[in-house]
Amino acid sequence: MIDRPAASNDPKVPSFYGEAALAGWKGVIDAVHAAGGKMGPQLWHVGSVPNFFGEWTPPGTVESPSGLVAPGKPRGESMSEEAIADTIAAFGRAAGNAKRLGFDTVELHGAHGYLIDQFFWAGTNLRTDRFGGATVKERSRFAVEVVKSVRAAVGPDFPVILRLSQWKQQDYAVRLADTPDAMADWLVPLVEAGVDVLHCSQRRFWEPEFPEIDGPDGLNFAGWAKKLTRAATISVGSVGLSGDLIASFGGEISKPTSLDNLLRRLDREEFDLIAVGRALLGDPRWVTKVRDGDREGLKDFSPAVLGELV
């Protein structure tokens, strides 16, 4: 969480500001490096999205672009220009601290209906100032300024990742960009502002983004993002598992599945990296098993494992 009074909707999600928290993070990255790993924090401001499990509310006033959490659904206050400027600065400070502590990268959470995404989304951004507008390009100005603030704080050579999604937790069917032109309007300014890597969140990585253009086996979100911006991209979504994230949150058990489709897409250089969520949360040996061809050893993903340290 960045340093804003209502950045968080869950007291269990750690902060990335304040001396004590940053000292803790220093221990984390040193331990990861000692084990040969690399790591970056994902910086959050949840906007007006409420707590996932209950009633917890943050100490500060809940804030969002236009006082909405979804179209026609009020929550929180519309942010003043001053609140916006302070939030942009807070993202920059957090990124600068990540670099200073020795992290290898930083990722900005611009996806899933949280604050940055609430600015992108016409349904939650009704502003008439320079942070709003009829096009996704205009509504990207907040994110562009966040990225510029982050880039200024970390300098030219530190990798900056931005996570984006068409879908929102408030509405899985929403799309910010319905055409490649609209997607270019959305993404190119972000890359020009200083993003190195676009992390393109899908629930199922094999779903084509614009099948009306390149067919049912066409490029996915990360594929189009790479093609349109020439930035490096990360894909994600149900790698190695039969059911998607939302099904898991609903309690469904996912079975291990083939990686052939993923390998084919990596071979054709559709995107540069793949992210793996639940398969790894459920089985820290997943990568080793895949590398060694131990298909029999791959486990089902049961949502119950989220309650355990595995």
CA atoms of 143 and 141, how far apart (whole Å) = 5
Identity of the residue, 66 or 164, whose beta carbon is nearer to ligand FMN in the bound complex:
164
Is 17 in the active site?
A: no
Q: Is there a contact between 222 and 271 (Cβ–Cβ < 8 Å)?
A: yes
Binding piece for ligand FMN, criterion CB under 6 A, among 32-40, 76-84, 173-181, 274-282: 274-282
User: How far apart are CB 105 and ligand FMN at their closest, in Å?
Assistant: 14
User: How far apart are CB 230 and ligand FMN at their closest, in Å?
Assistant: 23
Catalytic residue chosen out of the listed positions 44, 103, 114, 142: 114
Q: And the tokens for 276?
A: 């793996």
Identity of the residue, 8 or 125, whose beta carbon is nearer to ligand FMN in the bound complex:
8
CA atoms of 221 and 233, how far apart (whole Å) = 9
CA atoms of 36 and 62, how far apart (whole Å) = 39
Using CB under 6 A as the binding rule, whether residue 238 contacts ligand FMN is answered as: yes
User: How far apart are CB 212 and ligand FMN at their closest, in Å?
Assistant: 25
Find the binding residues for ligand FMN in span 124-163 (CB under 6 A): 163
Q: And the tokens for 3?
A: 């340093």
Q: And the tokens for 181?
A: 């032109």
Using CB under 6 A as the binding rule, whether residue 109 contacts ligand FMN is answered as: yes
CA atoms of 260 and 241, how far apart (whole Å) = 12
Using CB under 6 A as the binding rule, whether residue 239 contacts ligand FMN is answered as: yes
CB burial string 137-158: b at 16+ within 10 A, e below: bbbbbbbbbbbbbbbebbeeeb
Query: Would you say the C-alpha torsion 235, 239, 244, 246 has a positive or negative sign?
Result: negative
Using CB under 6 A as the binding rule, whether residue 40 contacts ligand FMN is answered as: no
Using CB under 6 A as the binding rule, whether residue 2 contacts ligand FMN is answered as: no
Using CB under 6 A as the binding rule, whether residue 306 contacts ligand FMN is answered as: yes
Q: Is there a contact between 147 and 190 (Cβ–Cβ < 8 Å)?
A: yes
Find the binding residues for ligand FMN in span 196-215 (CB under 6 A): 201
Binding site for ligand FMN (CB under 6 A): 42, 109, 111, 163, 201, 236-239, 241, 245, 276-279, 306
Q: Catalytic site residues?
A: 114
